[in-house]
Chain A
Amino acid sequence: MAANASTPRSGSPSTNPQGPLPAMIQLSRPYLTQNQIWTLEQNVAHTNGSRDQQLKFQAFSVILATGSYLRFPIRTMGTAMVLFQRFYLFNSMQDFPSTLDTAHACLFVASKTEDTLKKLKEILLASYYIKHPSGPDISMDSPIIEDQRRRLISLERHVLETMSFDFRVRHPQPYIIKFAKRLRYPMPLAETAWQIALDSYRTLVPLKCTPHAIALGCLYIAASLLEVNLSDIKPEQFCVRPLEFENVVLELLAFYIDWLPQTTLFATYTDPSKFMSMRIELNKRLGKYTEPRAPALKLRDYTMGDKGTVRYVLNWERERIEREIDMH
């Protein structure tokens, strides 16, 4: 039995359930490169980019509304939003058509990983009341909730598998405070940067860049908006690679230019031209950015579990795994 473990399995699982199984190592990828994201997006074959973006924003507003109703801290909502984006990079909309359900599932998982535990039913009930503010009251045992709950339990699994059981959390906010103090920036500037950080959860930036780079990018944009001296921001001094920093800033600016009315910053800054001129300014002195080489990624095969055992590893364990594979 074990002797032919290394040969690919030929029979179907039903005929040989105990049989040897192919290798399936799911490496956790906390960060993705732009190229990887592009290939993933192509795989998903988005038919209508802006419609998808609208669905995304809808889901984000559900996450934010439900989260603030339940009085979750912002980091829980942020994690949920990042999870949601990751989910639809690795899974297609055809397979998981209900973005609302996914949004709930992401919020639920985020509430667990961020130690702000709520029962699933509470989340669903809160969401229901936001959707039907004047509508009929329902109890916690109502069939509507129960039905949703069942769907969400299985969806939770997909969310967990997509995140490869990697529960490490990263948020730019602590760095914003620390960097702002170090740069001796005034309070209102730090607050603006904080708001920009909230908007950053709606972009793919958290999937691509490290939190301290995001924090510095947020501070940079806030400083240029408030017309404070920018020359103090030297990425190297904050252990941020200049290219990564520029990448964060450009990405965030692009987001503000395209989607300003959807952002939290819209309350104070309604004119996209400010962001435009910032982008032009930055582009002038920009070096050529070359992506680090990284393997192309495929969509997650959510039937993978039926085919064999899946092993989940964090990135830093990679070396060990490769050594093990070499051993055989």
Chain B
Amino acid sequence: MEEKARLANGKKKLGVGRRDRYIKERKVGEGTYAVVYLGRQLSTSRVVAIKKIKVGQFKDGLDMSAIREIKFLSELRHENVIELIDVFISSGTSRSLNLVLEYLSADLEMIIKDRSVVFTAADIKSWMRMTFAGLYHCHRHNVLHRDLKPNNLLLSPSGHLKLADFGLARKQPGPYDVMTPTVVTRWYRAPELLLGSKIYTRKVDVWAVGIIFAELMLRTPYLPGQTDLDQLDLTFRALGTPTEQTWPGVSLLPDFFYDTAKTSTADTGKKSGIYPAPSRDEMRMRFSAASENALDLLCKMTTLDPAKRIDTRDALGSEYFRELPRPTQPDLLPKLRKKDDTANEVKVGSNNTGFSGALRRREKDDISTEAEKERERRLAGVAKRLF
């Protein structure tokens, strides 16, 4: 009890349940719709991230991503999915909505970027396995994540990888349900989304994981497009332009403008955006360290036609996860070299973006503005109908 009093002394407390159970320690980051604090569960001294949703400033009430996060995380429980510990409304005049999330100190992007960290094929396999396990759990419960990127794959101090940021997640749609194609950070956006398809499946998540897989092997972003158009060009240059033969129905997609009747030589490729599919040797060159089975899996995950793309279940059962080397045990995985983050001295990332644990969003603004534009467009349509 005394220890609790000491901890609580001078710090803002949040009363939950029978007694005050969490204290906010300090602000670690700010997103477009939330402020994230580092906190502690008083009864267990467990470090948590407290995400305080900004309310009242927006003209549309509670943010959709907060709703999505609560909706999906409160029902998903898995070793490889971030845990939503509590939802509560704090007292006082602001009466803000607080989400208590598991605190995770690092993300995969930091590991990839940190040149001093060396990792092996077994490490990559371990991360991939955990990503797929988490994603399989989501998909099995009909949840599409729609925003997978290294930055949203968080790592716990014990080395476990967890999917986070369900702000764009949604339920697997029913037939004829249209969705916006402007989801997923551009570099990880599947071709059907880039081509503007409003009907898509959980395979968009598989594509994103495929690109992350490639990024882990290359240690640099695989398809870093500057604009959406550039992204499309880059994707096709790397994996070939789809045709009606390789992807039935592709020419019916809204933004498909390629004239695939033309011969696809390297010459015309520059002008028309039509590229041949890479040969196996070309792929081997690109990923010199990858085993044949790893390449197989990568190719299946980055198949342009979503219908032919592998699903999470088959991916988990693929040869790649069965061959040697075995995936590294989570606690033996490489970690960022930094101070201990279990005790009082919690150090969060040294990069200048400030916060690096749960809920850092790099390209989020990008997406929200695009979503905003999409909304504006629809709104204009409605207004036209109205007047």
Contacts and interface: CB of A to CB of B under 8 A. Distances in A.
Interface residues of A, number: 55
A221 B174 CA distance: 26
A117 B173 CA distance: 14
B152 to A, nearest CB: 20
Contacts of A21: 15, 20, 91
B60 interface: yes
Contact of A13 (B75, B86, B91): B91
A263 interface: no
Interface string A132-176: 000001001000000001001100110011000111100000100
Contacts of B62: 112, 156-157, 160
Interface in B357-387: 375, 379, 382-383, 386-387
B18 interface: yes
Contact of B17 (A122, A165, A314, A325): A325
Interface string A30-41: 000000000000
Interface stretch (B3-11, B214-222, B265-273, B321-329): B3-11
Given A305-B95, A309-B15, A314-B74, A161 B64 contact: no
B185 interface: no
A2 B91 contact: no
A307 interface: yes
B88 interface: yes
Interface in B1-33: 1-2, 4-5, 7-9, 12-20
B4 A153 contact: no
B170 A115 contact: yes
Contacts of B199: none
Contacts of B239: none
A129 interface: yes
Contacts of A161: 89
B95 A2 contact: no
A311 B19 contact: no
B355 to A, nearest CB: 24
A113 interface: yes
Interface string B234-268: 00000000000000000000000000000000000
Contacts of B86: 311, 313
Contacts of A55: none
B43 interface: yes
A122 B377 CA distance: 13
A108 B64 CA distance: 11
B61 to A, nearest CB: 4
A6 B19 contact: yes
Contacts of A160: 62
Nearest to A309: B15
Given A140-B383, A153-B61, A305 B89 contact: yes
Given A3-B4, A23-B19, A309-B90, 9 more contacts: A5-B20, A25-B17, A115-B179, A120-B61, A153-B59, A168-B75, A308-B15, A309-B89, A312-B87
18 contacts: A2-B5, A23-B18, A115-B170, A115-B179, A117-B375, A119-B59, A126-B382, A152-B61, A165-B74, A167-B67, A306-B95, A308-B15, A309-B88, A311-B88, A313-B86, A314-B74, A324-B17, A328-B19
